[in-house]
Amino acid sequence: MTLPPSPDQKLGDAPFSDLMRVLLSQFKRLLADNGITLTADETIAVARAIADGTSHPKLRAIQTIMKSLVEESLTLIQDRWGFTFLQSLYASMDDLDSWETTAEFLEIANEKSNAELRVSAGSALLVAMGDLSFAPYLLDVIKYDNGVMDVDAMFAKRVLRHVSA
């Protein structure tokens, strides 16, 4: 019996433009909140432009917004919990002493995981768009993954492979 491919295996084999489309879709609301709306067709076109290293009228604005979102999340992680991005990935909720109730726990856990996801996925997009200053965060994701090959690590590996080819 053959097992169906896991999500990370699917990402490992998917066309690079499909990966970029998935990442862009994750930021659709945040991009719209910052004045960039993308239709389904535009998302595909921008993803192809990123994958092919070509231009698109919305690409520079997307890059500016993504950089701001990632930097904002890194600042939150540092200012709120005193962690680097990698330390935050390894930190459990027991390492955070700022919660007492279940509601506070859930709110902080959501805030922490959203910030980590924005850094991970946002850095993947930024590196794919040519901003290699965010590559260390992808290396952090891969280090944290420790060979488990979760989805975030697969995105990081595929992006780093793509830009180094």
- Domain range for 96 is 7-164
Note whether residue 1 is domain-resident: no
Q: Give the whole-angstrom CA distance, residue 126 versus residue 113.
A: 19
Question: Residue 12 is encoded by which pair of tokens?
Answer: 């490992």
Binned at pLDDT 50, 70 and 90, residue 1 comes out as: low
Instruction: Report the alpha-carbon angle 143-66-38, nearest 5.
Output: 125
Q: What is the distance between the alpha carbons of residues 20 and 36, in angstroms, rounded to a whole number?
A: 16
Into how many domains does the chain fold?
A: 1
In a domain, 71, yes or no: yes
Among candidate residues 93, 67, 88, 81, the one with its CA nearest the CA of residue 143 = 88
Residue 25, domain member (yes or no): yes
**Average pLDDT, stretch 22-48?**
97
Tens of pLDDT, residue by residue over 87-97, are: 999 998 888 77
Please report the pLDDT score of residue 10 as a whole number. 65
Q: Give the mean model confidence (pLDDT) for residues 30-57.
A: 97
Question: Position 108: which residue type?
Answer: I
